[in-house]
């Protein structure tokens, strides 16, 4: 009978070891699953920010394409004359949690060298007989995902 008690105690000890090993396995599987989920969310965050900044730059292109020439040439233009740059922080969208996605927008305008003097160029009636006027409206957006900075640029050429 003494033998029976010794085996019974031994079985209890093995059960404790099995429970501890099972618990460790479950914790490891949980951590691996959490890690893979975080990796997926990080990849999606990059994709979401790319899509948001692409949409914002499409908006910038549309704005530059529709801006009246009187506004482009004025001192109150959203695109200041190069080498001056208008820099501002903009909200390009919101993440699912409600956090704003911000970026830094830089704008400048560059006149064509053959514009007439009234169009900030050095052209004249001989070099520019059709009296055309051309401007490059440039928008540059700088944003970051984690520790990396990304830059997108759009240049719209306006001619009249």
pTM, to two decimals: 0.69
- The C-alpha atoms of residue 15 and residue 21 are separated, in whole angstroms, by 10
Q: Are 84 and 120 in contact (CB under 8 A)?
A: no
Helices and strands in the chain: count of H runs, count of E runs: 2, 4
Range of the domain at 56: 2-159
Q: Outline where DSSP puts E strands in 42-133.
A: 86-94, 100-111
Return the CA Rg of the chain.
Answer: 32
CA end-to-end span of the chain: 108
Work out the number of other CB atoms within 10 angstroms of the CB of residue 17: 9
- Sort strands 86-94 and 134-145 into parallel, antiparallel or unpaired: unpaired
Q: What is the pLDDT of residues 26-61, one digit of tens each?
A: 999 988 888 877 766 666 777 888 899 999 999 999
Q: pLDDT digit string (tens) for 99-152? A: 888 999 999 988 876 676 665 666 566 666 667 888 889 999 999 887 889 999
Q: What is the total count of domains within the chain?
A: 1
């Amino acid at each position: 009978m003494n033998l029976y008690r010794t085996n019974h105690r031994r079985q209890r000890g093995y059960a404790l070891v099995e429970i501890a090993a099972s618990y460790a396995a479950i914790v490891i599987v949980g951590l691996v699953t959490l890690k893979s989920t975080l990796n997926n969310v990080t990849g999606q965050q990059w994709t979401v920010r790319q899509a948001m900044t692409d949409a914002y730059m499409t908006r910038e292109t549309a704005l530059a394409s529709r801006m009246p020439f009187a506004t482009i040439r004025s001192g109150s233009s959203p695109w200041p004359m190069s080498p001056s740059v208008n820099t501002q922080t903009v909200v390009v969208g919101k993440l699912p949690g409600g956090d704003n996605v911000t970026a830094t927008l830089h704008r400048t305008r560059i006149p064509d060298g053959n514009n007439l003097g009234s169009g900030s160029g050095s052209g004249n009636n001989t070099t520019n007989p059709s009296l055309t006027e051309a401007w490059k409206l440039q928008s540059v957006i700088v944003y970051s995902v984690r520790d990396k900075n990304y830059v997108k640029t759009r240049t719209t050429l306006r001619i009249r």
